[in-house]
Amino acid sequence: MKFTKHVIFLLNIFLLGVACSTSKPEQPHWYKGDLHAHYLPPGDTAACACMADGYARQGYSFVVVDTACPAAGLTKGRLALPGSECVDEHGVWTTAVNTVSRIWTAVALYEEVQQGNTSPNVLAYIPQTTGDLAAHHLRNIRRAGGLAVLSRGTLNRLAPETAAAIEELQFIEIFDGDTLTEAPWDSLLTRRKTVFAVAADTSLAGRAWVMVQADSLTPTCVANALEQGRFYASSGVMLSGITQAHTRFAVEVDTAATRKQLPVALQQGCTTDTTRYEITFITAEGKAAKRITGLRGRYESRLGDGYVRVRVTYSHPVDSLVYHAWTQPWILTF
């Protein structure tokens, strides 16, 4: 297997030199982004241009792309965060976000030994189990200064106690455009481990993304917002408000923005029937503490909740599919 390849850091000239301010502005912006590192043949200008066009049509502000992509490929007002896909034995799959450093995997080390580039002694230190390999990935990504996202498939293969023991585990993928995985997330949160959930579109079909509230569209600002949990994941539902004040939590749906995110063929069938929206406040053990039909939901936490997170669903009247939004969790201290 080839070493994972890294992206060229690309940024429109009007963004060059813009730093993330230390003070939070009055009106931070929401940016749509895809954190899954997509592999493209290095140097394939046509593939890069096609990908950039696809993201532009779907309104993305930033993407993570794993390729030595020509500069012409992502210059349409989109920020390309440097990163890489990290694939290893036992189906361990992670994404490194916002780092250009090489992320060493077990497979890469095996190749180095086979090619005579390093001593066979390193093999004694290569992790063997799925959990150890996942921890190895996340640790190396964090050491390289990147944000580490554990894939949905890898998360599903880890026992809850194994995943909770990985110190560097901070981001997990719960939706990959096809399959939803929420139970492991609730298991980690119930164990008092703060983990943020990501939706990532592995097929470039515009079916999953994150909405990040950042001061400006720069790598530093986007990475800082992600690190602080100032984002929500979505497969179609868009939110206009997410608030928390001590024990009170509230969310509000943006129906106009939601309609625009649906496939064009379904936008006309998107009705204003608010009964098709359901807001669920979820607490410890994945319990649905409160369900509300409509566009606005409020909840006041109680002793024993442990944490509060919100899932919003929209059931489309035409295709019968369900679209979601997932807020990041609030860990309670009482």
Q: How many helices (H) and strands (E) does the chain have?
A: 9, 18
CATH number of 236-334: 2.60.40
pLDDT at residue 39, rounded to an integer: 65
Q: How many residues does the chain have?
A: 334
pLDDT at residue 2, rounded to an integer: 36
Q: Are 225 and 237 in contact (CB under 8 A)?
A: no
Q: What is the pLDDT of residues 145-180, one digit of tens each?
A: 999 999 999 999 999 999 999 999 999 999 998 899
Q: Which amino acid is at 104?
A: W
pLDDT at residue 167, rounded to an integer: 94
pLDDT at residue 11, rounded to an integer: 25
What is the fold of 1-14+21-231? TIM Barrel (3.20.20)
pLDDT at residue 4, rounded to an integer: 35
Residue 204: DSSP 8-state = S
The predicted model scores a pTM of 0.87
Averages of pLDDT over each 10 residues, the chain, 334 residues: 32 33 62 82 70 80 70 57 86 91 87 86 85 95 95 94 96 93 96 96 80 92 96 96 93 93 70 87 97 97 96 86 95 86
Residue 180: DSSP 8-state = B
Q: Are 328 and 231 in contact (CB under 8 A)?
A: yes
pLDDT at residue 74, rounded to an integer: 52
Q: Are 283 and 259 in contact (CB under 8 A)?
A: no
What is the C-alpha to C-alpha distance for residues 31 and 211, in angstroms, rounded to an integer? 5
Q: What is the pLDDT of residues 216-231, one digit of tens each?
A: 988 899 999 999 999 9
Question: Two tokens at 327?
Answer: 């807020």
- What count of other Cβ atoms lies within 10 Å of the Cβ of residue 268? 10
pLDDT at residue 321, rounded to an integer: 82
Distances (CA, A) of 232 to 2, 130, 148, 296: 33, 28, 17, 16
pLDDT at residue 296, rounded to an integer: 97
Structural domain boundaries in the chain: 1-14+21-231, 236-334
pLDDT at residue 264, rounded to an integer: 67
pLDDT at residue 175, rounded to an integer: 95
